[in-house]
Structure 1
Amino acid sequence: MPNDPSERTPAPGASQRPAEARRIVVPRRGPMLVDGPVEVELEDGTVASSDRFRVALCTCRLSERYPWCDTSHRRRR
C-alpha cells in the first residue's frame, strides 16, 4: 500500500526516535503539564530536558526557571 504510514521515511533532519504519545494538560490558568521525560527546544535553539514523570511548562514567561514553571504566575494576580 503506497500511503501506509509505516512505509514513510522521515524528512531530513527529523528525529529518528520512535514517536511516543505524550499527554499534555492545558489548564485555563497556570502551566501546561506534560508527562515526561521531555526535551524542550527554546527559541535560541538550546534544549532543556527533564527526566521527571511530569513537568510544568511555564506559559506566562514570568518564571525565573523558564521553561519550567516556578509558580511566578501566582504573584501576577
Structure 2
Amino acid sequence: MNEIPLHPANASLVLCPDGPILVRGDFDVVMPSGEPAPRQRKTVALCRCGASAIKPYCDGTHKMINFRTEPPDVQGRGTSERPN
C-alpha cells in the first residue's frame, strides 16, 4: 500500500459514539485502489458499521442496525466498572 504523508495540523478526527468518524479539514480520502474518493465538503462522516450504501461515507444506517462501538460486555456500565 502506498504511504500517504499525514499533516495532522490540517485535519481532525472525531469518533462519534455508536456512529461514524467525522473528519474535518484538508485531507484526501483514498480508496483501496489508490483512487481518491469523491468529496465535496471539508467535513465528512466515514462509515464504521460497514453497512452504509455509500461507503466509505456514512449514510446513517448505523442507527437502523443498532451499531455499537463498545463491546457488549462494556455497554451500559459506568467507567468505575470497566476492567483495568
Q: Check whether TM > 0.5.
A: yes
Please classify the TM superposition score into its range, dividing by the shorter chain length.
0.5 to 0.7
C-alpha separation in 2, matches of 1:14 and 1:44? 13
How do residues 27-66 of structure 1 correspond to structure 2 at under 5 angstroms?
A: 27-66=16-55
Larger radius of gyration: 1
Runs of 4+ in 1 over 3 A off after TM superposition: 13-16
For the aligned residue pairs, the C-alpha RMSD in angstroms reads 2.5
Percent identity over paired residues: 33
Q: Give distance in 2, aligned partners of 1:40 and 1:58.
A: 12
TM-score (norm 1): 0.64
User: How many residue pairs get matched?
Assistant: 64
The runs of 5 or more residues in structure 2 that have no matched partner are: 67-84
Question: Structure 1, unaligned stretches of length 5 or more?
Answer: 1-12
| TM-score with structure 2 setting the length | 0.60
* Greater strand share, structure number: 1
